[in-house]
C-alpha cells in the first residue's frame, strides 16, 4: 500500500482506546438520504479504523448504552434535539455542531446533510488527534463557495499539472475510475470543499462541446460521484460557444439570439445535472474570446450568462485575469499589474446578483511573492472570490517543497482598509465586508492521477491547508500544519517537529533562492521551471525587472512610475509609494533602485541577493539532513520518495543560486562582501 494514497485520512489505529469516546459504540441516523448515508458510512469506517471495533448500527444501535446521533434537528429524538437546539441555532449554512449528550452520547447535527458530513470529518479528525470532545463545538464556514478549479483538458493533460494525468479525461472523452474519483471527492469533502470546476479555464475545441448532449451524460456520471460528498460541479465554458459549435454567426452578449442559445444550453445542462453549480469563464484574456469582440464589456458578457442560469439557481464565476498579453517591452508606461483593477473597478455595481468576480491573489500571476491585488477593497458592490494557485506552477512544480499556507494566510489577513481598519481580504471575499450575497475562495488544484495525488507527498499539505483556510481563514498556520503532519505522518514527536519545521521554512526558502524582493518572473518561458533572469525581459507578456548596470526593479509609484500604487487605499498606498516604508520583500515590485540601495534590514540590495541565494541553498541542505534523520521513523516508501525530490530540489536550488548571483554580479560589478564563489 502507498500510504500517501490515504493522504490525511490515514487508516492507522489511534493510541487511545474506544472507552475514551463511549459514543463510538453505536451510530443512530435516519437512512435513505445520500449525503447523510455517506456521513454515517465515513463514521463507521473511521471508527473501525481507529479502534478496530465496528460500531453498532440500526436497531442494535438504538439499544446501546451510549450513541452517536447524526442528522438534522428533525431527525433526532426529542431529548437530543432539546440538548442541541441552542447550539444549532448558532450555525449558518452548511456548518455543524458536535454536542455531548447526557450519559456519554454525542450528537453531530447540521441544518443540511452536508453539514453533518463535515461534522463527521471534524469528529474523526479530533479523535485521531486525541482531542477531548467534552465541550460543544459550533462551526460555520466563513465562505459559501469553497472551490477547486481543475485545469484538466479532455485529452487527459493538465495545464500546469505536476502529478500525472487527469483524473477525469482520456483521449477526448470523459473517462474515469469511479473508485478513484470517489476517493478524491472524499478527500475534498473532508476539508470542506463544496464546489469543483472540472475543466480548464482555457476551453479548447473539444471542451467547448462539454455543454452539448455529446458530453453531458458522462459529465453527469462524474457529477453523481461528487454528489455523495456534497461537491457540486461547475463547467468552464467558451464565450464563443454559439459560434464555435456552429449554431450562430455571433456570440454578441446583447444579441437576443445569443441569449436564447445560452438559455437553452443552461436548460439542457440542468436536465442532465440538476444541481449544476454554474459557469467559470476566462474571457478576453490570453487569446480567449469574450465580449470585447463585439464592443461589449465584461458586465454585458457575464450578465448574459448569468440570466441563462438564474432560473436554476446557477452562478457565473467570471475571472478578472484580464490584461494585454501583447505588450511592447520598450513601453515603460503600460503596467500589467494595473490591468485587472483598471478593467473591473469601472464596472463595480453592474453585475447581476448571481455573478461573482474571481480575482487572483496578486496583480500579476501567482509569483512566489506579490502584493495583494488592489481589486480586493476596490470593488464594493460586486460579489467576489479569491483565486489561489495550489498547483506549484511558479513555486517549484511539486519537485520542490513549497508550503503555501503561510503565503495564503498573509493574503487573507491583508488589510485593504476599504472600510477602515480590519477590512481584510478574508472579509472582502466572504462577502461579509460589503454585504455581498455570494463569496468564496477558489484554488487551482495540484492533483493528478499519480498514486499519491500530488506528486510530492508534502504538496498534499497545500491541498489540505487550502480547504481548511476556505472553511476558516482565521485558523493559524501552526494549527493547520500540526493537523496535516499528525494526520498524515503520525504523532512521533521527532517527525512532527521536523516536518513542521521543513514546511514552515519552505516558502521563504524557495523565495530566497529564486527571484529576489518581489520582482518575479526570472524563470524559463513557457514551462516556468528553473532560472532564466532575462527569460521574460524582452517578451510581450508585461513581465519585466529592468535590471541594468545601476539597478533593478519596476517603478510603480504615482510620483515617477506607472501609478499602480494609487490603486490601493490609504495607508497602503503611501506605504508602498515611499521607499522608506515599502516592505523589503516587495521593494522591487514597487521601486527601481540602485544595487547599493539599503533595505530596511540594513543590507544593500545586492548583498541581500547574494545572502538569500547562498542561504536558500543552505536551508535546502538542512531540510535534506532533517529528513534523512527520520529514515527509521517514516515508512520506507514515502521516505524514499521525498528524499528523491529533496535531492532534485537541492540540485536545482544550486542552479538558481549560481545563475542569479552570477547574473547580478556581472551586471553590477559589485563583489560579495563575504567573498563566496560567484561565477
Ligand atoms: C497563467 C498560467 C496559464 C493559465 C493562466 C490563467 O498565465 O501560466 O497556464 O492559463 O495563468 O490563469 O488563465
465-489 tens-digit pLDDT: 999 999 999 999 999 999 999 999 9
DSSP state of 158: B
In the prediction, which pLDDT does 1 show?
65
Residue nearest ligand 1's atom 12 by CA:
321
CA–centroid distance, residue 602 to ligand 1 (Å): 37
pLDDT at residue number 359? 98
Let me know: does 605 contact 552? Beta carbons within 8 Å.
yes
Whole-number Å distance, alpha carbon 429 to ligand 1 midpoint, is 21
- Residue 642 sits at φ, ψ, to 5 deg, of -70, -40
Question: Is 629 assigned a catalytic role?
Answer: no
Please enumerate, as own/partner, the contacts of 49-55 that have beta carbons within 8 Å and a separation of 24 or more.
49/11, 49/12, 49/13, 50/13, 50/14, 50/18, 50/24, 50/124, 50/127, 50/128, 51/13, 51/14, 51/17, 51/18, 51/24, 52/13, 53/18, 53/24, 53/25, 55/24, 55/25, 55/26, 55/27
In this structure, are residues 108 and 29 in contact, taking their beta carbons and an 8 Å threshold? no
Are the C-beta atoms of 14 and 491 separated by less than 8 Å? Answer: no
- Minimum CA distance residue for ligand 1 atom 10: 202
CB distance 486 to ligand 1 below 6 Å: no
Is the C-beta atom of 201 inside 6 A of ligand 1? yes
Residue 553 Ramachandran class (φ > 0 left, ψ -120 to 50 alpha, else beta): left
Distance CA 590, CA 567 (A): 12
Q: Is the pLDDT of residue 555 over 70?
A: yes
The stretches of 414-476 forming alpha helices (DSSP H) are 425-430, 460-471
Q: Report the nearest atom of ligand 1 relative to the CA of 202.
A: 10
Residue 543 has pLDDT above 90, yes or no: yes
- Say what percent of the chain tops pLDDT 90: 98
pLDDT tens readout for residues 69-109: 999 999 999 999 999 999 999 999 999 999 999 999 999 99
Asked about 393 being catalytic, the answer comes back as: yes
User: Which residue of 287, 321, 526 sits with most ligand 1 atoms within 8 Å of its CB, as the best mutation to test the pocket?
Assistant: 321
Q: Are 68 and 56 in contact (CB under 8 A)?
A: no
> CB neighbours of 473 closer than 8 A, spacing ≥ 6?
142, 143, 409, 412, 413, 426, 430
- Rounded to two decimals, what is the model's pTM? 0.98
Burial 472-489 (b: 16+ CB within 10 A, else e): bbebebeebbbbbbbbbb
Query: What's the complex ipTM?
Result: 0.98
Q: Which atom from ligand 1 is nearest to the alpha carbon of 444?
A: 12
Confidence of residue 650 (pLDDT cuts 50, 70, 90): very high
Handedness of CA 354, 355, 361, 366 (dihedral sign): positive
Give the separation between CA 136 and CA 83, rounded to whole angstroms: 10
pLDDT at 111: 97
With a cut of 80, say whether residue 141 has pLDDT above it: yes
| CA angle (647, 650, 656) in 5-degree steps | 145
Name the residue with cell 476539508.
191
Left, alpha or beta for 597 (phi > 0: left; psi -120 to 50: alpha)?
Answer: beta
Q: What is the pLDDT of residue 18?
A: 86
Q: Which atom of ligand 1 is nearest to the CA of 528?
A: 8
* pLDDT at site 15: 85
Nearest to 595 by CA among 677, 513, 670, 514: 670
286 is catalytic: yes
Please give the Cα distance from 481 to 476 (Å, whole number). 9
* Active-site position among 393, 483, 555, 611: 393
3-state secondary structure 331-356: CCCCCHHHHHHHHHHHHCCCCCCCEE
Q: Which of 213, 257, 286, 328 is catalytic?
A: 286
Length of the chain as a residue count? 679
Banded model confidence at residue 2, pLDDT cuts 50, 70, 90: confident
Percent of the chain with pLDDT over 70: 100
Across all residues in the chain, what is the average pLDDT?
A: 97
Residue 320 Cα to ligand 1 midpoint, Å, equals 12
DSSP single-letter state for residue 12 = P
> Residue 278: left if φ>0, alpha if ψ -120 to 50, beta else—which one?
left
Cβ-contact 507, 402 below 8 angstroms: yes
Provide the pLDDT confidence category of residue 678 given band limits of 50, 70 and 90.
Answer: very high
Q: How far apart are CA 469 and CA 449, in angstroms?
A: 25
Amino acid at each position: 500500500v502507498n500510504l500517501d494514497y490515504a493522504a490525511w485520512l490515514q487508516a492507522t489505529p489511534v493510541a487511545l482506546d474506544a472507552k475514551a469516546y463511549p459514543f463510538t459504540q453505536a451510530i443512530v441516523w435516519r437512512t435513505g438520504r445520500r449525503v447523510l448515508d455517506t456521513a454515517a458510512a465515513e463514521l463507521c469506517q473511521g471508527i473501525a479504523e481507529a479502534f478496530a471495533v465496528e460500531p453498532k448500527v440500526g436497531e442494535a444501535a438504538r439499544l446501546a448504552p451510549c450513541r452517536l446521533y447524526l442528522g438534522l434537528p428533525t431527525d433526532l429524538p426529542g431529548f437530543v434535539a432539546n440538548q442541541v437546539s441552542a447550539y444549532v441555532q448558532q450555525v449558518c449554512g452548511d456548518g455543524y455542531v458536535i454536542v455531548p449528550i447526557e450519559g456519554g452520547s454525542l450528537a453531530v447535527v447540521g441544518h443540511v446533510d452536508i453539514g453533518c458530513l463535515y461534522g463527521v470529518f471534524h469528529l474523526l479528525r479530533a479523535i485521531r488527534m486525541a482531542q477531548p470532545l467534552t465541550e460543544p463545538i459550533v462551526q460555520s464556514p466563513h465562505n459559501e463557495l469553497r472551490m477547486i478549479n481543475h485545469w484538466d483538458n479532455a485529452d487527459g493533460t493538465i495545464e500546469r499539472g505536476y502529478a500525472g494525468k487527469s483524473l477525469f479525461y482520456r483521449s477526448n472523452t470523459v473517462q474515469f475510475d469511479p473508485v478513484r474519483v470517489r476517493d478524491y471527492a472524499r478527500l475534498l469533502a473532508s476539508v470542506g470543499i463544496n464546489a469543483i470546476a472540472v475543466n480548464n479555464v482555457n476551453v479548447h475545441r473539444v471542451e467547448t462541446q462539454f455543454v452539448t448532449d455529446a458530453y453531458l451524460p458522462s459529465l453527469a456520471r462524474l457529477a453523481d460521484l461528487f454528489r455523495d460528498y456534497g461537491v457540486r460541479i461547475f463547467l468552464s465554458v467558451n464565450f464563443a460557444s454559439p459560434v464555435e459549435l456552429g449554431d450562430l454567426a455571433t456570440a454578441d452578449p446583447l444579441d437576443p439570439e445569443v441569449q436564447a442559445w445560452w438559455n437553452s444550453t443552461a436548460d439542457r445542462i440542468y436536465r442532465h445535472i440538476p444541481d449544476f453549480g454554474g459557469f467559470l469563464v476566462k474571457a478576453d484574456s490570453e487569446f480567449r474570446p469574450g465580449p470585447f469582440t463585439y464592443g461589449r464589456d465584461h458586465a454585458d458578457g457575464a450578465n448574459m450568462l448569468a440570466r441563462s442560469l438564474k432560473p436554476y439557481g446557477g452562478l457565473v464565476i467570471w475571472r478578472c485575469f484580464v490584461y494585454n498579453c501583447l505588450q511592447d517591452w520598450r513601453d515603460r508606461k503600460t503596467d500589467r499589474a494595473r490591468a485587472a483593477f483598471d478593467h473591473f473597478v469601472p464596472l463595480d455595481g453592474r453585475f447581476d446578483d448571481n455573478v461573482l468576480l474571481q480575482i487572483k491573489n496578486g496583480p500579476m500571476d501567482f509569483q512566489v511573492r506579490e502584493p495583494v491585488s488592489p481589486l480586493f477593497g476596490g470593488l464594493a458592490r460586486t460579489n467576489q472570490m479569491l483565486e489561489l494557485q495550489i498547483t506549484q506552477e511558479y513555486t517549484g512544480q511539486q519537485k520542490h517543497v513549497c508550503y503555501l499556507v503561510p503565503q495564503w494566510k498573509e493574503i487573507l489577513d491583508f488589510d485593504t482598509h476599504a472600510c477602515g481598519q480590519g477590512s481584510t481580504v478574508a472579509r472582502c471575499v466572504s462577502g461579509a465586508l460589503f454585504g455581498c450575497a455570494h463569496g468564496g475562495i477558489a484554488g487551482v488544484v495540484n492533483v493528478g492521477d499519480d498514486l499519491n495525488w500530488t506528486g510530492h507527498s508534502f504538496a498534499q499539505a497545500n491541498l489540505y491547508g487550502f480547504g481548511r483556510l476556505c472553511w476558516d481563514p482565521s485558523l493559524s498556520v501552526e494549527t493547520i500544519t500540526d493537523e496535516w503532519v499528525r494526520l498524515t505522518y503520525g504523532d512521533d514527536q521527532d517527525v512532527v517537529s521536523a516536518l513542521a519545521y521543513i514546511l514552515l521554512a519552505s516558502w521563504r526558502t524557495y523565495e530566497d533562492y529564486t527571484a529576489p524582493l518581489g520582482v518575479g518572473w526570472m524563470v524559463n518561458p513557457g514551462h516556468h521551471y528553473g532560472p532564466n533572469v532575462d527569460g521574460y525581459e524582452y517578451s510581450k507578456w508585461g513581465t519585466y525587472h529592468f535590471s541594468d548596470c545601476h539597478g533593478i526593479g519596476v517603478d510603480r509609484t504615482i510620483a515617477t512610475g506607472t501609478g499602480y500604487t494609487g490603486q490601493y487605499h490609504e495607508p497602503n498606498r503611501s506605504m508602498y509609494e515611499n521607499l522608506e516604508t515599502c516592505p523589503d520583500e516587495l521593494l522591487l515590485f514597487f521601486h527601481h533602485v540602485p544595487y547599493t540601495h539599503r533595505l530596511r534590514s540594513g543590507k544593500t540590495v545586492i548583498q541581500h541577493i547574494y545572502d538569500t541565494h547562498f542561504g536558500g541553498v543552505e536551508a535546502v541542505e538542512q531540510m535534506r539532513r532533517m529528513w534523512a534523520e527520520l529514515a527509521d521513523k517514516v515508512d520506507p516508501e514515502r521516505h524514499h520518495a521525498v528524499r528523491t525530490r529533496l535531492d532534485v530540489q537541492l540540485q536545482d536550488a544550486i542552479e538558481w543560486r549560481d545563475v542569479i548571483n552570477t547574473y547580478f554580479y556581472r551586471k553590477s560589478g559589485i563583489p560579495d562582501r563575504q567573498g563566496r564563489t560567484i561565477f
